[in-house]
């Protein structure tokens, strides 16, 4: 039986589609029993989204009315819909736009910068309308599964697609990045903050050295590739299975810091550091929305 597969991109960078291609030989094996019926960066797409799609991978966040309508159409036509990558699953880096007024952002880009040369006018013909809020896919339609990451790991993409094509239920790791990290584990809470450009001690937990490493609050599955190379985890895979809110969990982990250290973390820095990929689905954003409604 041939499986009808579709992929679609909304507001994003197409990095998840590049990761799909990076599965290499595994993708070729998967495609033996797959008909790729729609995929904007991989095949020439001039026709509407076809009917009777078995599995759909949707990349990017819902930022415009066009994204919103495309997501709804794909949901109607796909039996199984996957939020592909962290933008689609959690709102991604795009979600940080929710900390600003969307129209103020448009005004800044088209009227206050020099990127448009002498032209000082917002494009209005044949362009989508920006929504008031950046949304994750599940804010608009029902999502059956997510593949997290910015971008997702090719091995995980192949594993999830392989399970679906075999009629099995895919699964993600229930552990945190720290559980996969080969560095010496955290033995004491950090007492100072260190900058990313500073050189860490080798083979020692980055968080215990004072680097903001999101490993304790982030879902495993990446084999701790960043921290194992001395680069703090930025949380691109979203919250770990047991974490209520990724950003809140990390703030809690840093509660032992002195007040003068925490004073550096004003709201913009909190969101961009602890909820870089998940702000649009975070408790902080929910609070902001409730305050805005009053």
Domain segments of the chain as ranges: 3-95+126-165, 177-293
Q: What is the pLDDT of residues 57-89, one digit of tens each?
A: 999 999 999 999 999 999 999 999 999 999 999
- What pLDDT is attached to residue 145? 96
Residues of the chain with pLDDT under 50: none
Distance CA 21, CA 116 (A): 34
Q: Which residue has the tokens 């007040």?
A: 259
Fold type of domain 3-95+126-165: Rossmann fold (3.40.50)
- What pLDDT is attached to residue 43? 67
Q: Which residue has the tokens 């003068």?
A: 260
Nearest-5° angle of CA 168, CA 173, CA 179? Answer: 160
In terms of Cα–Cα distance, which of 87, 134, 98, 8 is closest to 285?
Answer: 98
In terms of Cα–Cα distance, which of 191, 237, 269, 225 is closest to 90?
Answer: 237
- The model carries a pTM of 0.87
Which tokens is 188 given? 């004491």
Distance CA 127, CA 130 (A): 9
- What pLDDT is attached to residue 191? 73
- What pLDDT is attached to residue 115? 58
In terms of Cα–Cα distance, which of 178, 179, 247, 243 is closest to 208?
Answer: 178
Q: Which residue has the tokens 């192949």?
A: 158
Q: Which residue has the tokens 């919250």?
A: 239
């Amino acid at each position: 039986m041939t499986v009808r597969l579709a992929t679609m991109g909304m507001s994003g960078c197409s990095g998840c589609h590049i990761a799909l291609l990076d599965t290499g030989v595994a993708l070729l094996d998967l495609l033996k029993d797959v008909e790729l019926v729609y995929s904007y960066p991989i095949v020439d797409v001039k026709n509407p989204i076809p009917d009777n799609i078995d599995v759909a991978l949707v990349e990017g966040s819902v930022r415009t009315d066009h994204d919103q309508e495309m997501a709804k159409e794909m949901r109607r036509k796909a039996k199984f819909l996957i939020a592909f990558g962290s933008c689609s699953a959690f709102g991604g880096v795009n979600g940080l736009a929710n900390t600003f007024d969307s129209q103020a952002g448009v005004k800044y880009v088209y009227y206050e910068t020099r990127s448009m040369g002498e032209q000082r006018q917002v494009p209005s013909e044949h362009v989508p309308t920006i929504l008031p809020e950046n949304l994750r896919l599940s804010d608009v339609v029902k999502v059956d599964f997510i593949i997290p990451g910015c971008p997702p790991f090719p091995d995980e993409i192949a594993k999830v697609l392989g399970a679906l094509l075999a009629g099995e239920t895919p699964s993600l790791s229930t552990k945190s990045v720290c559980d996969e990290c080969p560095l010496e584990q955290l033995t004491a809470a950090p007492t100072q903050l260190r900058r990313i450009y500073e050189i860490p001690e080798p083979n020692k937990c980055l968080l215990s050295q004072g680097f903001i490493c999101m490993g304790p609050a982030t879902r495993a599955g990446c084999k701790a590739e960043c921290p194992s190379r001395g680069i703090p985890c930025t949380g691109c895979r979203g919250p770990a299975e047991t974490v209520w809110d990724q950003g809140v969990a990390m703030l809690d982990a840093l509660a032992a810091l002195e007040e003068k250290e925490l004073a550096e973390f004003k709201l913009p820095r909190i969101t961009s550091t602890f909820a870089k990929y998940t702000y649009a689905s975070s408790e902080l954003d929910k609070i902001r929305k409730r305050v805005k409604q009053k």
